[in-house]
């Protein structure tokens, strides 16, 4: 996930992002981009977008892969 500021909205910023995103994609990563103001003003919507992308990819919920706590709770 990348949180972008205004510099990412310029031609040069978009070009650099594109090059980096392609390199990450070739390495097996996926980049989700959100604007700073989205994270600040709509954090629940950002979290939901991330959650939905994980569902599409078939990633398990973190709690499903976490070992049980030693005390049996959690």
Taking only the tens place, the pLDDT of each residue in 40-55 is 999 999 999 999 888 8
- State whether residue 25 is helix, strand or coil: helix
pLDDT of 72 higher than 60: no
Q: Please, which residues have CB within 8 angstroms of residue 57's CB and are 6 or more apart in sequence?
A: 30
pLDDT of 16 higher than 90: no
Q: What tokens were used for 21?
A: 């995103």
Q: What is the CA radius of gyration of the chain?
A: 16
pLDDT of 34 higher than 60: yes
Return the pLDDT at 43.
Answer: 92
The domain spans of the chain are 2-65
Summarize the confidence of residues 5-18 as an average pLDDT. Answer: 78
Helix/strand number for the chain, H first, E second: 4, 2
Q: Which residue has the tokens 């990412």?
A: 8
Percent of the chain with pLDDT over 70: 73
């Amino acid at each position: 996930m990348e949180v972008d500021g205004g510099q990412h909205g310029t031609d040069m910023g978009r070009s650099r992002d594109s090059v980096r995103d392609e390199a990450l994609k070739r390495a097996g990563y996926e980049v989700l981009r959100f604007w700073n103001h989205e994270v600040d003003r709509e954090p629940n919507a950002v979290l939901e977008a991330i959650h939905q992308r994980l569902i599409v990819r078939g990633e398990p919920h973190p709690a499903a892969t976490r070992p049980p706590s030693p005390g049996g709770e959690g």
